[in-house]
Structure 1
Amino acid sequence: MDRRKKYTQSTLKECLVDLLKQKPITSITVKELCEAADVNRSTFYSHYDNHFDLLEKIGEDVIFDMEQALAEFNFGTERESLQMTERALQYIAEKYDVCEVLLSSHGDMNFKKRVMDLLLPVILKKFNAELHLKGKLSEYIPLLVISGSIAVIERWLENGRQETPEQIAALIHQFTNHGLVGDSPPLR
């Protein structure tokens, strides 16, 4: 892809994220987006079907980056699990604007599900290996862990990332590996 196309796509993505900070995707028009990006509509439509398609592409970029980060780690040890969680939180901090919008009510309602679908096999593998989950309700435990972790990340973003990515990673890691009253050291 040539530089002009990359620049145009990047500009459109940035402008959509900025607009989503103000209002939901359903209240944004392609015309408004094109005006904000200083791009004509035909150029927009040469890249995307509509603004929902653009939002989905933004989410796909984040999911792709997360997949790449997850592939770097082996979850065989608790230490690597913590390192992976820290890396994920560092990425979210770096992509703060995009992640905050995608996880907000103004963003892509399917994004959380896509994140859960990405993380579920990893968490299932970890829990099945360590806890040998069995029983009728065992399928809900990994979902509880993932949805709770996403809720923590959402609140962290809403609060302006007052804690470091490492602190939030430690909190998620503590809960995931030791529960609320585990035997690991208290969080700072």
Structure 2
Amino acid sequence: MAQKENDRRVARSKAALKEALLSLMERKSFSAISITEIVETANYNRGTFYSHFENKDALLAEVISELIDELIASFREPYEHVEIFRVDELGAQSVTIFEHIFARREVYSTLFRGDTLPIIKEKMFSAIRRISAEDLVYPEADTTINPELRMVYSLHALMGLVFHWIEGGFAYTPAYMQDQLVQLIHWRPTAAKTVRRGEAERKGKGK
């Protein structure tokens, strides 16, 4: 019983420290935040902080790690319970990565500001790339495309869409983003109309 109570106390104090850090990051950069500010905002002391974290970088790392675990779970959702993942039959309702991000949009928005932007982007991309490589095996006999280049192309497309959505302030609903992603996956244009430079310039002057 005492152990359970201690576990709950640890969970409460760590959660409070994480919330304090994110609250401070809404107003200032991570590099400008001190441990003193974190513990004062969380209403704890430095001893409590150091009993859980070596430094503020370790605190940030745990915040991001928990977020990445949820991101991975949402990415795996469409294929987690099937032996063969039919990408050509993927439905918008099966894609939950946007729902996860939107549910945690306050945290993502905070991390996408200031000096933590490169960190969170790298962590997100690396995690999805690792899971894709570990979980999904494609039949190489069906194509002459280099597997490594195919993965890089696909992941940059997906994560580019995700990053654009977050940085744009979630201008579209998760359902809309899910539908658009599925359409993009199946989109195979065979031609595009070209606009000559002179015509484009005339159109611009006519506005």
- Does the pair score TM above 0.5? yes
Structure 2 counterpart SS, 1:160: coil
Q: Over alpha carbons, which structure has the higher Rg?
A: 2
Structure 2 counterpart SS, 1:22: coil
Q: Could you tell me whether the CA contact under 8 Å between 2:53 and 2:59 is conserved in 1?
A: yes
Assess, with a 3 A threshold, how the Cα gap between structure 1 residues 161 and 89 changes in structure 2: closer, same or farther. same
Assess, with a 3 A threshold, how the Cα gap between structure 1 residues 155 and 73 changes in structure 2: closer, same or farther. closer
Task: Give the whole-Å Cα distance in 1 for the aligned partners of 2:137 and 2:168.
Answer: 30
Residues 35-184 of structure 1 mapped to structure 2, 5 A cutoff: 35-74=40-79, 76-78=85-87, 79-80=89-90, 82-85=92-95, 87-107=96-116, 109-121=118-130, 123=132, 128-129=138-139, 132-135=143-146, 139-178=148-187, 181=189
Runs of 4+ off more than 6 Å: none
Which letter maps to 1:169?
A: Q
Structure 1 counterpart SS, 2:115: coil
Residue in 2 that maps onto 1:28: 33
Task: Give the whole-Å Cα distance in 2 for the aligned partners of 1:127 and 1:170.
Answer: 25
Residue in 1 that maps onto 2:3: none
Assess, with a 3 A threshold, how the Cα gap between structure 1 residues 160 and 113 changes in structure 2: closer, same or farther. closer
Which letter maps to 2:8?
A: R
Displacement of 1:81 in angstroms is: 6.5
Residue in 2 that maps onto 1:186: none
What TM-score comes out, normalization by structure 1 length?
Answer: 0.77
Task: Give the whole-Å Cα distance in 2 for the aligned partners of 1:80 and 1:39.
Answer: 48
Task: Give the whole-Å Cα distance in 2 for the aligned partners of 1:96 and 1:19.
Answer: 16
Q: Give deviations 1:43-72, integer Å, cap 9, x for gaps.
A: 111111111111110111012122333444
Gaps of 5+ in 2: 1-5, 191-207
Task: Give the whole-Å Cα distance in 1 for the aligned partners of 2:117 and 2:10.
Answer: 24
What TM-score comes out, normalization by structure 2 length?
Answer: 0.71
